[in-house]
Amino acid sequence: MKRLLIIVIVFLCFPYAECQNIAFEETEYNFKTFNEDEGEVSHTFTFKNTGEKTLILYDVVVSCGCTTPEWNQQPVPPNGTGTIKVTYNPTRRIGVFTKSIRVKSNALNGTQVLSIKGNVLEGQSSSIDLYPVKNQYMEFNTSALHLGEIGKEEQKTGWIEFVNRSSSPIDVKVENVPECFAIMVNPMHIESGNKGVIFVTFKGKQCKSKGLVSGEFILSCQGEGLPKVQQTFLVEANHLGK
């Protein structure tokens, strides 16, 4: 009976011994305290395939747009090693931070979670507010855009930059587009910490008005389970007419 039990245990364990496994030398790194003006900081995590089959990394997912992962997507053979470089952008992110990195692969031991942390001291660059227009979720570099003189039959595009300063993904939608203008937002779904652009185009060929042409449009911002917030923008152009 004991012999039969040993055979069953060996039979059950043997397939797992041949599977791919991922083992990191470390799963956490502390950048400690550094100044915002030092710019981006990076750390490289090293891992090894400790199994007997090829290891494949499917994806590396970060918790914030301020963190960027880089990794070699080539298969890792048994006993082979690989690296994941993680870069953190401290610009206008003053204070203590902790960010997670989820490593998804075909490893038997499943998804691995790495983390970076540190403390950012305010630098001189923070004294210049690049996004002075703010609402509950977003910050914008301006709330008014003047496209200047536009000749007959001409078309001209300008843009407004923004960043999602909330802790949640936000969806945006343009409403009340003024006559003679076309407005497009990219992207329309913005992850936390990520940036976007509002492209504003004046279509002189389709505009019957001459002289100063202006109007307001609304950008609606809303996250899942969060209230809608609206931001109003002024756009104008000096149309020389036909």
Residues 118 and 141 in one domain: no
The segment with the largest mean pLDDT, out of 11-15, 28-32, 67-71, 91-95, is: 28-32
Residues 101 and 151 in one domain: no
What CATH number is associated with residue 143?
Answer: 2.60.40.10
Question: 107, 125, 143 — which closes off a domain?
Answer: 125
* pLDDT for position 11: 42
Question: 69, 93, 125 — which closes off a domain?
Answer: 125
Residue 16: pLDDT band (50, 70, 90) is very low
Residues 38 and 108 in one domain: yes
Residues 90 and 146 in one domain: no
Whether residue 154 has pLDDT greater than 80:
yes
Per DSSP, the three-state class of 113 is strand
Residues 147 and 103 in one domain: no
What is the mean pLDDT of the segment spanning 57-81? 90
* pLDDT for position 170: 96
Residues 6+ apart with CB under 8 A from 180: 202, 203, 204, 206, 207, 209, 213, 215, 237, 239
Residues 179 and 96 in one domain: no
- 104 found inside a domain: yes
* pLDDT for position 66: 85
Q: How buried is residue 180: exposed, middle or buried, by Cβ count under 10 Å (0-12/13-18/19+)?
A: buried
Calpha distance 151→146 (Å, rounded): 15
Identify the CA nearest to 53 among candidates 19, 80, 24.
19
Residues 141 and 228 in one domain: yes
Whether residue 1 has pLDDT greater than 80:
no
- 10 found inside a domain: no
Residues 63 and 161 in one domain: no
- 106 found inside a domain: yes
What is the mean pLDDT of the segment spanning 6-16? 41
Predicted TM-score (pTM) of the model is: 0.52
- 151 found inside a domain: yes
Residues 108 and 179 in one domain: no
Residues 208 and 114 in one domain: no
Summarize pLDDT for 165-184 with one digit per residue, the tens.
888 999 999 999 999 999 99
- 102 found inside a domain: yes
- 164 found inside a domain: yes
The three-point CA angle 47-104-20 to 5° equals: 55
Whether residue 2 has pLDDT greater than 70:
no
Residues 114 and 210 in one domain: no
Summarize pLDDT for 171-222 with one digit per residue, the tens.
999 999 999 999 999 999 999 888 999 999 999 888 888 899 999 999 999 9
Going by DSSP bridges, is the β-strand pair 28-35/112-121 parallel, antiparallel, or unpaired? parallel
Residues 105 and 137 in one domain: no
Question: 125, 152, 169 — which closes off a domain?
Answer: 125
- Note down the domain range covering 185: 133-239
* pLDDT for position 181: 96
Calpha distance 10→203 (Å, rounded): 74
DSSP labels, 14-77: HHHHTS--EEES-SEEEEEEEEGGG--EEEEEEEEE-SSS-B-EEEEEESSTTEEEEE--S-B-
Average pLDDT, the chain: 87
What is the mean pLDDT of the segment spanning 140-163? 91
Residue 64: pLDDT band (50, 70, 90) is confident
- 118 found inside a domain: yes
Whether residue 7 has pLDDT greater than 60:
no
Longest dimension (CA), the chain: 99
